[in-house]
Chain A
Amino acid sequence: MYRILKAGQLAGNIYEMVVEAPRVAKRCLPGQFVIVKMDEVGERIPLTICDYDREAGTITIVFQPVGASTEKFTQLRTGDAFRDFVGPLGQPSDLCLESELEETKKKKILFVAGGVGTAPVYPQVKWLHEHGVAADVIVGAKTKDLVILEDKFKAVSGNLYITTDDGSYGRSGMVTKVIDDLLTNEGKSYDHCVAIGPMIMMKFCCLTTKKYNLKTIVSMNPIMVDGTGMCGACRVMVGDEVKFACVDGPEFDGHLIDFDAAMRRQAMYKTEEGRKLLELREGRTHHGGCGNCGGDK
């Protein structure tokens, strides 16, 4: 069992947990992820690592409920435990390798973080900060209440640009607008961009940065089962090659990703997941006998 030392909410429906997992904490690097299983009957859910403390042996995870399993995670409190917690999985970010540090120092780096994808961006920016590299960061959220980790980012970023879709806080508009503004109107230039967030956001970030010929790395979060390369569920088309996000990724050159195909694949279990989620939230009450979902049978 993997004890939850702290469970809380960062904003709206975004949750943060600090989990005791010494083996993962000892070795993980920014960009890697873990797989978490709540109990005997639970799914294996891949989650990005938001922070780690090697001495305390803890990992911080941040998530937003999207299906039945992550919805169940929200019921866990400080002192509870996950049955299974395994990692670190995937390749670390290319920017956060000691061996590449000299090269990285020469680059002007822009991070673009959207929604719950803000969490996996944090350890990368923090690692760079600790190694003397100041990267600029755009954090995007739908509205003011959903902006997360602002103080943490302030402490480690070069320039921090916060934007909300509805203009209720920081700049106004999508992250792609900020990219355009910085590069066109505000005289900024970058050699390397990392965009992490919902698939649709990463897709449009890549379309935007392509205009400026700005190399952009994205972090894919496809359907996954084992996370060790065994099942192949997480295969993504990168250029004309099939890659497994769990062992080859999760980070890939965003300009080579077929986002439309990836989004279609992600929707594969939508109906079934939706059914489970509805059942979890509403119990048997939604079974009005509409005959559609078959849940009353």
Chain B
Amino acid sequence: MADVLKKVPVREQDPKVRATNFDEVCLGYNKEEAIEEATRCLHCKNAKCVQGCPVNINIPEFIAELKEGKIEEAYKVISQSSALPAICGRVCPQESQCEGKCIRGIKGEPVSIGKLERFTADWARENGIKPPAPETRNGRKVAVIGSGPSGLTCAGDLAKYGYDVTIFEALHEPGGVLVYGIPEFRLPKLDVVAKEVENVKSLGVKIETNVIIGKSVTIDELMDEEGFEAVFIGSGAGLPMFMGIPGETAKGVFSANEYLTRNNLMKAFRDDYDTPIVHGKKVAVVGGGNVAMDAARTALRLGAEVHIVYRRSEAELPARAEEVHHAKEEGIIFDLLTNPKEILVDENDNVAGIRCIRMELGEPDASGRRRPVEIPGSEFDIAVDTVIMSLGTSPNPLISSTTIGLDTNRRKCIIADEETGQTSKNGVFAGGDAVTGAATVILAMGAGKAAAKGIHEFLSAK
């Protein structure tokens, strides 16, 4: 008899093997494992997990269906709240959301809600189950800018309300960060992302790629000339930050965005694709978030020895626990309490190393985390040929700077009402990283969902 206090373990690719390929790390539950794990759910009346979910999936209900082996029914329950369950089951930070609130977690391990969601969504896809199509169409046009998590969710919900929705995507492939940012080994593009995008399209949503709002066409033109009655901005936070230290323009210094975009969107890891990527031998990734882990694990798979350079200690790493765990298993070296001061270059301007200083933790800062302070005289060099800067991103000003009457805050984030997504401009709504700055897939989905409701109320009252 399995230990009821513990999760049914999930099968994963062996770390030594997966460090050399781009196939998915986590293999997920099979039906027997999923049903066994489902029996661990206590079916709380006042379920805390639902409150922990940014899109409020009825978790006890879908798990109850699953326990009975009614997987299609379970999928329908999830579909009421989420358009992208196969994605969320893989990339949500469950430990701080649904699973973080699970009563099972008080004495033992919480129910593995993420893995159950993933199993349900994967089973539905493999068995050709589609989300139910909208019953009515009202023909009113709404534009959604960006096909990332917030845009897809907002578009899907608007289509269910009956609107005629067009998504405008700047890149050549829909999916936003799901396609250019998160690597294949965490989120398969063809089998998972493309299929969930297809599901959104099957609700009647149109997607026009290669349209950069603010450049190809403006929001004012969409509303005045192309007949869109409302617009949702879900353009994400795409601009990479650099440190401003010497040597940052040297050859061999990349933003995590560039490195990941080349590898994920442009598929540089595959020989049959044309886009090149630098195969570093020794790589330093600066930063400690999920994106840093993704960049590090990508560099590892391309054949490098990889160091994560992070200025605080392990407890402050912003990345999901699972990502840090996987990175360590695969052999990523963590240089913690370490901060870069300068990138060293050779006579041809190639990266030759990175000069760092040791740090210690002082008093808590505004974020509540203990502030890292330099230890004087502790400088040392790490010999590397590639440096990947993963310090966070900020919203792209292309849209805010070309839309009359759209207010932003000092961080260039669009100001929008949390409940409805309404911005300072009539008929224009926003959500996701474009509003909050870089956050998570599921929070962006939550914002897209709220904005769809906000848009529906706005247009119904018009």
- Chain A contacts to B: CB under 8 angstroms: 23-24, 26-27, 37, 41-44, 68-69, 83-89, 225-226, 228-233, 235-237, 242, 247, 261, 264-265, 267-269, 272-273, 276
Q: A87-B215, A88-B216, A264-B348 are contacts. A229–B396 as well, Cβ < 8 Å? A: yes
Residue B375 lies at the interface, judged by CB distance under 8 Å to chain A? no
- Chain B contacts to A: CB under 8 angstroms: 170-172, 180, 209-212, 215-217, 238-240, 242, 248-249, 251-252, 254-255, 257-258, 261-262, 266-267, 272-276, 278, 348-349, 396, 398
Min C-beta distance of A116 to chain B, whole Å: 21
In the assembled complex, 30 residue pairs joining A and B whose CB atoms fall closer than 8 Å, in A order, are A27-B217, A41-B272, A41-B274, A42-B274, A43-B275, A86-B170, A86-B212, A86-B216, A225-B262, A225-B266, A226-B180, A228-B212, A228-B238, A228-B396, A228-B398, A229-B238, A230-B239, A230-B240, A230-B257, A231-B240, A231-B257, A232-B242, A232-B255, A233-B255, A237-B249, A265-B349, A267-B251, A268-B252, A276-B274, A276-B276
Interface of A is mostly: mixed
Q: Within the assembled complex, what's the spacing in Å between the Cα atoms of A261 and B273?
A: 28
Min C-beta distance of A88 to chain B, whole Å: 6
Q: Determine the chain A residues whose CB is within 8 A of the CB of B276 once the complex forms.
A: 269, 272-273, 276
Q: A27-B217, A225-B266 are contacts. A233–B274 as well, Cβ < 8 Å? A: no
- Taking a contact as CB atoms under 8 Å apart, the answer to whether B261 and A85 are in contact is no
Q: A84-B210, A242-B249, A261-B249 are contacts. A232–B278 as well, Cβ < 8 Å? A: no
Which of B172, B215, B273 touches A83 (beta carbons < 8 Å)?
B172
- Taking a contact as CB atoms under 8 Å apart, the answer to whether B261 and A88 are in contact is no
Min C-beta distance of A254 to chain B, whole Å: 18
Q: Determine the chain B residues whose CB is within 8 A of the CB of A247 once the complex forms.
A: 398
Interface centre among A86, A231, A237, A242 (most CB of B within 10 A): A231
Q: Within the assembled complex, what's the spacing in Å between the Cα atoms of A233 and B249?
A: 9
Q: A43-B274, A233-B254, A264-B251 are contacts. A85–B210 as well, Cβ < 8 Å? A: yes
Q: Within the assembled complex, what's the spacing in Å between the Cα atoms of A232 and B180?
A: 14
Q: A226-B261, A264-B348, A276-B274 are contacts. A43–B249 as well, Cβ < 8 Å? A: no
Q: Determine the chain A residues whose CB is within 8 A of the CB of B267 once the complex forms.
A: 41
Q: Within the assembled complex, what's the spacing in Å between the Cα atoms of A225 and B396?
A: 16
Nearest first, the 9 closest Cβ-Cβ pairs linking A and B are: A231-B258, A86-B210, A84-B172, A232-B255, A272-B276, A230-B238, A269-B276, A23-B216, A41-B273
- Taking a contact as CB atoms under 8 Å apart, the answer to whether A69 and B274 are in contact is yes
Min C-beta distance of A20 to chain B, whole Å: 13
Q: Within the assembled complex, what's the spacing in Å between the Cα atoms of A27 and B217?
A: 7
Which of A84, A86, A230, A272 touches B261 (beta carbons < 8 Å)?
A230
Q: Determine the chain B residues whose CB is within 8 A of the CB of A231 once the complex forms.
A: 240, 255, 257-258, 261-262
Q: Determine the chain B residues whose CB is within 8 A of the CB of A261 once the complex forms.
A: 249, 349
Q: Within the assembled complex, what's the spacing in Å between the Cα atoms of A226 and B255?
A: 13
Q: Determine the chain B residues whose CB is within 8 A of the CB of A242 once the complex forms.
A: 242, 248-249
Q: Determine the chain B residues whose CB is within 8 A of the CB of A267 once the complex forms.
A: 251
Q: Determine the chain B residues whose CB is within 8 A of the CB of A89 once the complex forms.
A: 212, 215
Q: Within the assembled complex, what's the spacing in Å between the Cα atoms of A242 and B262?
A: 21
Q: Determine the chain A residues whose CB is within 8 A of the CB of B261 once the complex forms.
A: 225-226, 230-231
Q: Within the assembled complex, what's the spacing in Å between the Cα atoms of A261 and B239?
A: 23
Q: Determine the chain A residues whose CB is within 8 A of the CB of B252 once the complex forms.
A: 268
Q: Which residue of A lies closest to B398 (CB)?
A: A228
Q: Within the assembled complex, what's the spacing in Å between the Cα atoms of A26 and B267?
A: 32
Min C-beta distance of B108 to chain A, whole Å: 43
Which of B172, B180, B262, B349 touches A37 (beta carbons < 8 Å)?
B172
Interface contacts beyond A42-B274, A84-B209: sample of 12 additional A-B pairs, CB < 8 Å, sorted by A:
A26-B217, A43-B275, A44-B172, A89-B212, A226-B170, A228-B212, A230-B180, A230-B396, A232-B240, A237-B249, A261-B249, A273-B276
